[in-house]
Amino acid sequence: MVSKMAPKTKPVDNSVNERRLRPIYDWLDNGNNKKALQEAEKVLKKQPNLQCAKVLKALAMVRLGKSEEAQAILKDVQLEEPCEDATLQAMAICYRETHRPELTCQIYEAAVKKDPLNEEFLSHLFMGYVRIGDYRKQQQTAMALFKVKPKNPYYFWAVMSILMQAYASDDSVCLTITLPLAERMIKKFVEEKKIEAEAEVQLYLMVLERQRKYDEALQVIQGPLAEKLASGIIETKKGEYLKQMKRWDQMMDYTEELLRSNPDQWSYYVHYAETLFEISSQDVTAFDRVKTFLFSLLEQERIKSENKLRGPYLAMLYFWQQLQQRNFDASAVFGNFREFAQEYVEIMGDKPCAFQDLKPFISSLPADQVTEFLDCVNQSVGLDDPSRQSPKTVKQICRHLLQLQLNRFLGQHDLLGKKEKTQLSRELWDHYLRTKFLNVGLLTTDIRPNDGYALLAAHLLLDTWNNDPDVLYKCLLLLETSLANSPANYHLKLLVTRVYTLAGHGRAAFQRYETLDIKYIQLDSLGHLLCRPLISMGLPYTASPLLSSTLRFYTTHARETSECLISAYKFGSFGKIPEFTQFCQRLDSSAHFASVTTERMLLDLLLDSSSHLKLVQTAGGMFADPDKDQPDWKTCVDNRDCGVFVSWDPPSKNLHDDIVKTTFNDEVKFARLRNRLVHALIATVALSPIWQIEVQETKNRTENLNNDQHPKDKCILPRLLQELEILLTELKSQSLMSHSQFSVQSPPPPRLYTYVENGSLEPILILMDIVSKGQCHAIGNDEIRQLDNALSRVVESAQPSVVSEGFWRNYVRLERVYNAVETLCLCVLVVSTIHAIIKNNNALSKKKKKKGETDNDDSFNRAKQFSTLVSCVASNMKKMEVLIDEFGVQVCISQMKLTESDIEKAEHAITDEISKNLSQSPVSEVKNLMVEKFKLLETCNL
């Protein structure tokens, strides 16, 4: 809303202006920018010097995509140093929308200079500095504000700005000057009894904590200022300070006090354990004390008849595990782990959380007690003959599922052969069907209690998959069936998405993925599940909009977060200020962001290049800057939520931290390689004569440069090619993960592996090198031979005879095909650039020659060499086309046959749906892409 910024105080003589401007504001608010622009022009005809009208005109232009003209207007107004609120605010909006927040600071600086006592201007200036994160100037401005209007918030804005300087740099100046200054400022207010708000006390604590002055901080929360604080804060802070000061004895008393009043707060147990181990190194009697205390809490629950708390029960397992991990004889100190675990199962086994609760601890169960434990768990279910009998109540389902999950987690399923696993999964499916009657009356948004059977049955089937299409089909069948009954169950949706992915059916995977309704922050945390993988599976057209919406999230967040920072200052939530700043950095440095940005550009080049002219326009429209358009690769962070898949696999098979770390590192490496690739490609296209006409000239016009190319531009390509070579050599020398290490629940294998292994980059490098060295009209036989070899290798690697292993084999095969297709298509783009260069040179040399003279051998040779190059690319593309056609039949699991009994049990709608999904050709998009680029290649003749 723009109208909100209309001035609150209206000088009388301005009322005419007000009335004239009103319609412009209205049009802008309604999103009708064209009308707003016309209206502004009308007003300016009457009053050419009305600053605000000029700015509103600029704003309308910004919103109509005419940024450059708008900038010119704004520059002029800025020179006039406006001093009127509405104008300034409208300018600030323009700057915000064009991502130039620093200019907002400039205009308010000028306004403040003219009117130094204007509170409004000063506070806008302060917020302007918050947006660009200039803490020192924030501090000065806040103090200036306080002098104009001695209000507490202004004073504490200044203190917070000082603290932010200390957060930003950890040097000694902070400790000796910056932080003590902040502390003094607050103390002054404390002494003068001017502290008003909770926020101010919190800020005091933050300043003390940063200096590690925990003793003083403790005094604050125990002194008179504490009454301003919420009780929860005092509680947690006290524990934190005692811990920091290593006052373990006090800490012990204190955590016991807390636990007594709240025996279900897990963080207290964690502190309690830490305290125990600190104290016990000097005083072994601590063990007895803790044991007695924990047992007293447990006893309280034991005597309750209902609403028992989980905390005291799990605490026993936790402390036992902690002792064991520190090489104490846990059984001697605490008693029998198995019995504690059994007691927990007895009491909480009928809740769906039981497995998740036990998961962190149960692997501590001594190996020789596993059988006994499981026997007891099995008995707790109360089914005499589980192969024929099914649970009769929801609670019994929970117990039964817990039993099955624990059996799997404790390795019992690993002992089964394929036949037994299939048999067991069949049994689970029967349980699923037999317990359906318990779902009656549930809302569609409720998750069905028996869904767990379907998930577990699917996991068991996947264990036995080993590339047997029937198994995948059965798995899809039961997942799709249970999903139809339980449309809210996202575990089912995630798994079914994954199974389609493993089957090599990206489009079906995408359809299921969409039902998860992943948006905003989830695009960052969950995007890795399918965003880049869609490209690997040969679905560039499907991936394209997903990449765009992801990118939109990343590019808008910074502006949004800075507005929230401002709110945090306004509401005095000082603790949130460093948190928001870090959050913003975390999003900016997201590896997924880096990857999506680059892949988006590559896809644009690939998909938006039906002719050489179009290619140039697309590449030119990116305004690429190879130096600025890359993140600091070393500080990229992993924002993926890799724990989103449930799994009951034993810890030995479970997602290791290793695989999370390695895949992250490798995704970053891949993003970096691709980033350099896309910039090299753009730099190649930039050498086309068409670029001179289409891109450079407009650029020159707007930037008022003369017609010479930047000297910088010419050396960009060789430099980028060199960077690529270095990266590639480095990657080739590293050992990469094997695809067989990836499980059903693991993050998708990085594309890096096949990309490097197949030599996907080499042919493009050879071609770009020709352009880079200015040898387009002297293409040697050697280069052509090299290119042919490199391309053949890429095509070879996509052959079905190249075996892939493990769960991801179909996926990896599709990826190899896509690698080859993409390489061929990118080669066509470079070839079209070479073609444009040769053609232009020919035309130039023709002009120079006198009429009547014939072309010499040179140019004939040139044409011949080029056409050999073209046929080399063309013949490899043909080979690839044949391969793709064969591929369609080879990898598809659409020939999977259903057995009669399967069909009987399943609903027809579901089998139809699956068959439909599986009949979609997984290679139609890559075929399409090849046809497109082949057309472009055909235009490259001399």
Partner 1 sequence: MTTLRPFTCDDMFRFNFVNLDPLTETYGLTFYLQYMAHWPEYFQLTEAPGGEIMGYIMGKAEGHGTNWHGHVTALSVAPDYRRLGLAAKLMSGLEEISEKKQAYFVDLFVRVSNTVAINMYKNLGYIIYRTVLEYYSGSPDEDAYDMRKSLSRDVDKLSVVPLTHPVRPEDIE
What are the residues binding partner 1 (CB under 8 A)?
230, 232, 236, 264-267, 269, 307, 309-312, 314-315, 318, 351-353, 356-357, 359-360, 443, 445-447, 487-490, 493, 516-522, 524-526, 557, 560-561, 563-565, 567-568, 570-571, 573, 575-576, 579-580, 582-583, 586, 639, 641, 643-644
CB nearer to partner 1: give 582 or 775. Answer: 582
Q: Which is nearer to partner 1, 529 or 682 (CB)?
A: 529
- Min separation Cβ 527 and partner 1, Å: 12
Smallest distance from partner 1 to CB 623, Å: 26
Which token pair is 253? 């008393």
In the complex, least distance from residue 560 CB atom to partner 1, rounded to whole angstroms: 5
For partner 1, the closer of residues 312 and 750 by Cβ is 312
Question: Using the 8-state DSSP alphabet, how is residue 115 labeled?
Answer: S
Q: Which is nearer to partner 1, 341 or 829 (CB)?
A: 341
Cα gap 173→530, rounded to integer Å: 47
Q: Are 263 and 295 in contact (CB under 8 A)?
A: no
Question: Is-contact 464 421, C-beta < 8 A?
Answer: yes
Q: How far is the CB of 383 from partner 1 (least distance, A)?
A: 22
Residue 463 has, within 13 A of its CA and on its CB side, a CA count of 26
Least distance to partner 1 from the beta carbon of 742, Å?
Answer: 21
Closer residue to partner 1, CB minimum distance, 525 or 868: 525
Cβ atoms within 10 A of the Cβ of 857, count? 8
Two tokens, residue 620: 């030119």
Closest to partner 1 by CB, 243 or 679: 243
Closest distance of CB 587 from partner 1, Å: 8
H, E, C per residue of 377-436: HHHHHCCCCCCCCCCCCHHHHHHHHHHHHHHHHCCCHHHCCHHHHHHHHHHHHHHHHHCH
Residue 755 near residue 739, CB atoms below 8 Å:
no
CB of 870 vs partner 1, minimal distance in Å: 49
φ, ψ for residue 637, nearest 5 deg: -120, 160
Q: Looking at beta carbons only, is 149 or 552 nearer to partner 1?
A: 552
CA atoms within 13 A on the CB side of 254: 18
Nearer to partner 1, 206 or 838 (CB): 206
Burial class (CB in 10 A: 0-12, 13-18, 19+), 175: middle
User: Which residue, 297 or 884, is less far from partner 1 as judged by CB?
Assistant: 297
Residue closer to partner 1 (CB basis): 638 or 723: 638
Residue 126's CB is within 10 A of a number of other CB atoms, namely: 25
Could you give the maximum distance between any two Cα atoms of the chain, in Å? 112
Minimum CB–partner distance for residue 317 and partner 1 (Å)? 9
Measured distance CA(455)–CA(461) in Å, rounded: 10
Least distance from C-beta 316 to partner 1, angstroms?
12
The CB-of-203 to partner 1 minimum distance in angstroms stands at 13
The answer to whether the beta carbons of residues 806 and 739 sit under 8 Å apart is yes
Nearer of residues 180 and 575 to partner 1, judged by Cβ: 575
Q: Name the phi and psi angles at 590, rounded to 5.
A: -60, 130
User: Closest distance between partner 1 and the C-beta of residue 549, in Å?
Assistant: 13
In sequence order, the 6+-apart residues with CB closer than 8 A to the CB of 136 are: 161, 165
Kindly tell me which of 318 and 473 has the beta carbon lying closer to partner 1: 318
Q: Shortest approach of partner 1 to residue 516 CB, angstroms? A: 6
- Please state whether 9 falls in left (phi above 0), alpha (psi between -120 and 50) or beta: beta
The string of DSSP codes covering 565-608 is HHHHHHHT-TTHHHHHHHHHHHHHTBHHHHHHHHHHHHHHHHHS
HEC assignment per residue over 463-525? HCCCCCHHHHHHHHHHHHHHHHHCCCCHHHHHHHHHHHHHHCCHHHHHHHHHCCCCCCHHHHH
The count of C-alpha atoms lying within 13 angstroms of the C-alpha of 425, restricted to the half-sphere facing its C-beta, is 25
311-325 helix and 285-302 helix, angle to the nearest 10 degrees? 150
Instruction: Return the number of the residue (321 or 917) whose C-beta is nearest partner 1.
Output: 321
Task: Provide the sign of the torsion angle of the four alpha carbons 345, 348, 352, 356, taken in this order.
Answer: negative
CB nearer to partner 1: pick between 315 and 677: 315
Minimum Å distance from CB 497 to partner 1?
Answer: 12
Phi, psi of 99 (to 5 degrees): 60, 45
Concatenating the DSSP letter of every residue in 870-904 gives HHHHHHHHHHHHHHHHHHHHHH--TTPPPPHHHHH
**Least distance (Å) between residue 836 CB and partner 1:** 44
Token duo for residue 640: 């993926």
Q: Could you tell me the smallest distance in angstroms from the CB atom of residue 901 to partner 1?
A: 32
Residue 414's CB: how many other CB atoms inside 10 A? 13
Is there a contact between 755 and 532 (Cβ–Cβ < 8 Å)? no
Q: Are 745 and 499 in contact (CB under 8 A)?
A: no
Please report how close the Cβ of residue 81 comes to partner 1 at its closest, in angstroms: 32
Each residue of 288-315: b (16+ CB within 10 Å) or e?
A: eebbebbeebbeebeeeeeeebbbbbbb
* Shortest CB 327 distance to partner 1, Å: 22
Q: Which is nearer to partner 1, 201 or 893 (CB)?
A: 201
452 vs 750 by CB, closer to partner 1? 452
| Sequence-ordered list of residues with C-beta below 8 angstroms from that of 346, at least 6 positions apart, any chain | 380
Pick 139 or 590: Cβ nearer partner 1: 590
Residue 583 CB, shortest distance to partner 1, in Å, is 4
Q: Return the ∠ at Cα 559 (arms to 554 and 562), rounded to 5°.
A: 120
Question: Which of residues 558 and 622 has its CB atom nearest to partner 1 in the complex?
Answer: 558
